Structure formats: C-alpha cells, structure tokens
Structure 1
C-alpha cells in the first residue's frame, strides 16, 4: 500500500492552481473537467514527478462539513498539511519575496524547523526541515 493522492480543500480551484504552481513551484499533472464547473486538478512536486499527487479539491463549496473543518483549522492557526523542504529559511525568503504571507516565521522546535503560511484559498500550510 502506498499514498498516491492527497486532497487539499480549496475555495477557488483556479486561484489555487496559480498559487501552487507559480508561488510554490508544483507542476500541473492533470486538469480534467467535472460536473458543476469543477475540475480534477492534480499537481506533483518538481523533485518527485512520479510521486504522490495533490488534488485541489473544491470540497468546501459543495460539502458543508469540509468548510466547517477548514474554517476551524484556519481560525485556530493549525496547518492543513505540511511540505518538507531542504531549508525552511531559504523557502521562507523565496516565498516572502513572492508575496506569500506567513503567520509563523521560521521556528526551531526540537529536531525540526518549521514555518506556516497562508495558501490564499482557505488553508494554513507548514513547511518543515528536519535537522
């Protein structure tokens, strides 16, 4: 058994696609139309193009419990998920220059360093560097 797809709820698929590709550097893998004007949009990491795909899921717009959960995480400042990076400081600097808003600056906690940013489509996301 292995992970092949990770779903991230987004409030606006087009805005999410632009943010995740242009700011975070992911590559669009699939983009297929679905009912109701939605799309099946998946992304992959440049470093692992055959690895797990991220699905930009329009769930908050069509499934109220998802919206409640997403809103609660955002209000509490809890990241929806995390992305591993080689250097949190380098990614923080690069993303800040691209206009990404961080709620937590690079912080060391035990054996890792992390920072938390807003993905502009309803989620806090965490970047992590193991030390």
Structure 2
C-alpha cells in the first residue's frame, strides 16, 4: 500500500492554485473539468514530481460537514496538514517576504522545528523540519 493522493479542502480552486504554485512552489499536475465549475486539480512537489499528489478539493462548497470541520480546525488553530521542509527558518523568511501570514513562528519542540501559516483558502498548514 502507498499514498498516491491527499486532499486539502479549498473554497476557491483558482485562488488555491495561485497560492500553492506561486507562493509555495508546487507544480500543477492535473487540471480536468468536473462540471459545475469544479476541477480535478492536483499538484506535486517540484522536488518529487512522481510523488503523492495534492488535490485542491472544493468540498466545503458542496458538503456542509466539510465546511464545518474546516472552519472548526481553523478557529482552533489546528493545521489541516503538514509539509516537510529542509529548513523551517528559511521557508518562514521566504514565505513571509511573499506575504504569507504565519500564526506560529518557527518553534522548536522535541526533535522538530515547526511553523504554521494560513493558506488563504480556509486552512492552517504546518511546516516541519526534523532535527
């Protein structure tokens, strides 16, 4: 068994595509219309283009429980998911310069350094560097 696809709920796929590609540096892999203005829109890491795909899922627009869960996580400050990076401090500096808003600055805890930012699409995302 292996992970091929994970999804992140977004309320605006075009806005999410712009944020995740232009600010975070992901690459668009698939972009197929599904009807009703929705798309099967996946991204991959530029450093691992054959790795798992990230689906920008428009679920909160069509499935109320998804919207409620997304809002509850955001209100509580809990990240939807995490992305591993080589150097959290460097990514924090790079993303801050691009206007990304962090709720948690780089913080060391045990064997990791982490930071949390708002993806502008309804989610907190955590960056993690293993020490």
TM-score using structure 2 length: 0.99
Q: Which residue of 2 aligns with 1:41?
A: 41
Structure 1 CA distance, aligned partners of 2:19 and 2:12?
Answer: 11
In the TM superposition, what is the alpha-carbon distance from 1:36 to its structure 2 partner? 1.1
Aligned residues: 131
In the TM superposition, what is the alpha-carbon distance from 1:92 to its structure 2 partner? 0.1
Q: Which residue of 1 aligns with 2:130?
A: 130
Structure 1 CA distance, aligned partners of 2:88 and 2:81?
Answer: 15
- 4+ residue segments displaced more than 6 Å: none
What are the superposed Cα offsets for residues 87-124 of structure 1, whole Å, 9 maximum, x if unpaired? 00000000000000000000000000000000000000
Report SS of the residue matched to 2:47. coil
Report SS of the residue matched to 1:34. strand
Report SS of the residue matched to 2:60. helix
In the TM superposition, what is the alpha-carbon distance from 1:35 to its structure 2 partner? 1.7
Segments of structure 1 that go 5 or more residues without pairing to the other structure are: none
Q: Which residue of 2 aligns with 1:69?
A: 69
Matched, 1:104 2:99: no
Structure 1 CA distance, aligned partners of 2:66 and 2:8?
Answer: 10
Structure 1 CA distance, aligned partners of 2:11 and 2:53?
Answer: 19
1:75-86 matches, within 5 Å, as: 75-86=75-86
Matched, 1:18 2:7: no
Matched, 1:57 2:43: no
Pairwise CA RMSD: 0.3
Segments of structure 2 that go 5 or more residues without pairing to the other structure are: none
TM-score using structure 1 length: 0.99
